[in-house]
Amino acid sequence: QQQVKQSPQSLIVQKGGISIINCAYENTAFDYFPWYQQFPGKGPALLIAIRPDVSEKKEGRFTISFNKSAKQFSLHIMDSQPGDSATYFCAASGNTGFQKLVFGTGTRLLVSP
């Protein structure tokens, strides 16, 4: 129940295309859903996050879509650029206890020039 399932494992998108990464969860106590971006040799960095009171959040070219009833959320990268090539992790945490952050398995995105 503490798992967050992420797909696809890897993704190749042409420059200017849309990258879509999906995540699903089971624990209904989760109420915070961040996406992290990780470049090789670096730690993950927060990209964008959403709480269940909204169905969509947009920041620049990055959009999170959230479907509470389906317990799914996704990251959309519009106008994908080679500089977006990185590994993306979805994560989730709950609103009880000390709010442990649980990560998905990651998606390696390659944006071809």
Partner 1 sequence: EAGVAQSPRYKIIEKRQSVAFWCNPISGHATLYWYQQILGQGPKLLIQFQNNGVVDDSQLPKDRFSAERLKGVDSTLKIQPAKLEDSAVYLCASSLEPGAVAFFGPGTRLTVL
Residues that bind partner 1 (CB under 8 A): 4, 6, 32, 34, 36, 41-46, 49, 89, 91, 93, 95, 97-106
The DSSP result for 2-17, as a single string, is --EEEE-SEEEEETTS
Angle at 84 between CA 83 and CA 86, to 5 degrees: 110
CA 42 and chain centroid, separation: 17
CA distance 61 to 39: 18
Minimum gap (Å) between residue 109 Cβ and partner 1: 14
Whether the Cβ atoms of residue 88 and residue 36 lie closer than 8 Å to each other: yes
Minimum gap (Å) between residue 90 Cβ and partner 1: 9
Minimum gap (Å) between residue 106 Cβ and partner 1: 5
Q: Closer to partner 1 at the Cβ: 20 or 48? A: 48
Q: Closer to partner 1 at the Cβ: 44 or 80? A: 44
Q: Closer to partner 1 at the Cβ: 77 or 92? A: 92
The tokens for 23 are 């995540």
Minimum gap (Å) between residue 113 Cβ and partner 1: 25
